[in-house]
Copies of this chain bind each other. A is one copy, B any other.
């Protein structure tokens, strides 16, 4: 799928999000690239020319998108969280040195032998992270 800025209002509305100026810009930053971005990076992309969107709004909006299931959170680095516009089931490969994060399709991966969940809990998700570093 390939997103243009014009797709954003519909995408937002389909997730029950009121499409405002700032929300459209933030969604576009993520979905036009289809990359993992940190809040800082989103902030920078949205404000390339003039300062248009405040830090508070960037954080509020990312958390709203998260809560509405439009994007996912990827926790691999101790000092920043990444936001992932790809919400289909997939896992991650993380280069601990460069900080580069790539998707690994969940389709071919099979995990067996998981224990039953503790009583009274429901599965929220399974994250598989393959950490690599430069060989040598």
Contacts and interface: CB of A to CB of B under 8 A. Distances in A.
A95 interface: yes
Contact of A121 (B114, B126, B134): B134
Grouping DSSP codes into helix (H, G, I), strand (E, B) and loop, the A interface class, with mixed when no group exceeds half, is strand
Contact of A78 (B73, B120, B126, B132): B73
A66 to B, nearest CB: 11
Contact of A128 (B75, B123, B126): B126
Contacts of A131: 123-127
Interface of A: 73, 75-78, 81, 93, 95-96, 104, 108-115, 117-118, 120-136
The 8 closest A-B pairs by CB, nearest first: A124-B131, A121-B132, A108-B113, A122-B135, A109-B113, A127-B129, A78-B81, A110-B112
